[in-house]
Amino acid sequence: MADDLLSQLKQMTTVVADTGDLEAIRRFSPQDATTNPSLILQAAQQADRRARLAEIARHSTDIDDALDAVAVEIGSEIAGLVPGYVSTEVSARLSFDSDASLARARSLIERYDRHGVGPERILIKVAATWEGIRAARQLEREGIRTNLTLLFSFTQAQACADAGVTLVSPFVGRILDWHKAREPEADFTGDRDPGVRSVKRIYEHYKGHGYRTIVMGASFRNSGEILALAGCDRLTISPALLGELADTQGSLTRRLTPVGAETSAPEPHDEAEFRWALNEDAMATEKLAEGIRKFTDDQRKLEALLGELRKG
């Protein structure tokens, strides 16, 4: 009898849990875990966390202090359950401010250190804007590892690799969403999925040019997208899809295979070239802006929750 698909996937790809749900992490035993403002909000709304959240809120100097304290507390709990990286996101409001992103990232690393979690265990998530990529370049120079998120285009991926970031998170499902909204009758299954094609192009480019940046597909809408990227460096997967893969028997074929560097890396874009190329990509421009807004909306909801708890 064939093994379940999740077990087979783990043999060719590092599986990452895309959640703040500790029980899901215990169940699926991923190598790493990623969080974002939406997932932290979900975790914070769990009834068994209310008393602790209220305590954090009352002892924080302001809402920003409370937000980071909550994110690091949940991230530290996750770090006790996974052997690898835990990704924690800088406020989406800082997506266009390099200096503020740097300060917030350093603060998060210091908070983790006070919880006994070293910087080698943490990936600081920053939106793949020009300013976010600049901040990530500096953080990597300081020994702080980064995960560039809300990545929708090859232009963003190239700039991230040039900056020497540790990991990029191309958003597969949100790319698919954009194309399906415009071509609802089109067949986007399997290798026809534009999000899958985007990750494959980035993966092949990185491996072919010797970049060390890890490619981690993210934001999946269905298990077919995951199976089409079997062999990618990492895939971060929601508990629902992890469960589907764990409950499905079958034979999984590796789809992506690393190759040695074949050619030298191309010249990096300057700021004007980056902004123009991103502007020319309507999907990436729209989804990047939308993603920042959505994360900020969920951050506001968490701020409101902590504000109420702070009042007691």
User: Per residue of the chain (312 residues), what is the pLDDT tens digit?
Assistant: 469 999 999 999 999 999 989 999 999 999 999 998 888 888 888 888 888 888 998 999 988 999 999 999 999 999 999 999 999 999 999 999 999 999 999 999 999 999 999 999 999 999 999 999 999 999 999 999 999 999 999 999 999 999 999 999 999 999 999 999 999 999 999 899 999 999 999 999 999 999 999 999 999 999 999 999 999 999 999 999 999 999 999 999 999 998 776 666 777 889 999 999 999 999 999 999 999 999 999 999 999 988 888 776
Residue 85 phi, psi dihedral angles, 5° rounding: -75, 150
User: Which residues on adjacent β-strands are paired with residue 14?
Assistant: 234
Distances (CA, A) of 62 to 12, 57, 304: 44, 8, 12
Percent of residues in the chain assigned helix, strand, coil, to nearest 5: 55, 15, 30
**CA 128, 129, 133 angle in degrees (round to 5)?**
65
d(CA 250, CA 268): 43
d(CA 56, CA 54): 5
Total-model pTM = 0.95
The sign of the torsion formed by the CA atoms of 153, 156, 162, 164 equals negative
Position 312 scores a pLDDT of 67
Could you tell me which residues come within 8 angstroms of residue 112 by beta carbon, excluding any fewer than 6 positions away? 72, 75, 76, 79, 88, 118, 119, 121, 122
SS3 5: helix
Place of tokens 């040039």: 162
Position 217 scores a pLDDT of 98
Quote the strand ranges of the chain, DSSP E.
Answer: 14-18, 32-34, 86-89, 122-127, 146-151, 167-170, 214-217, 234-237
Using only C-alpha atoms, the chain has a radius of gyration, in whole angstroms, of 19
Q: Which of 10, 125, 180, 200 is flagged as catalytic?
A: 125
Domains for the chain: give ranges and CATH numbers.
5-311 (3.20.20.70)
d(CA 192, CA 214): 23
What residue type is assigned to position 203 of the chain? Y
Position 91 scores a pLDDT of 95
Structure tokens at 25: 């992490």
d(CA 275, CA 159): 11
SS3 15: strand
The separation between CA 244 and the C-alpha centre of its own chain, rounded to angstroms, equals 21
200 a catalytic residue: no
Burial of 250 (0-12, 13-18, 19+ CB in 10 A): exposed
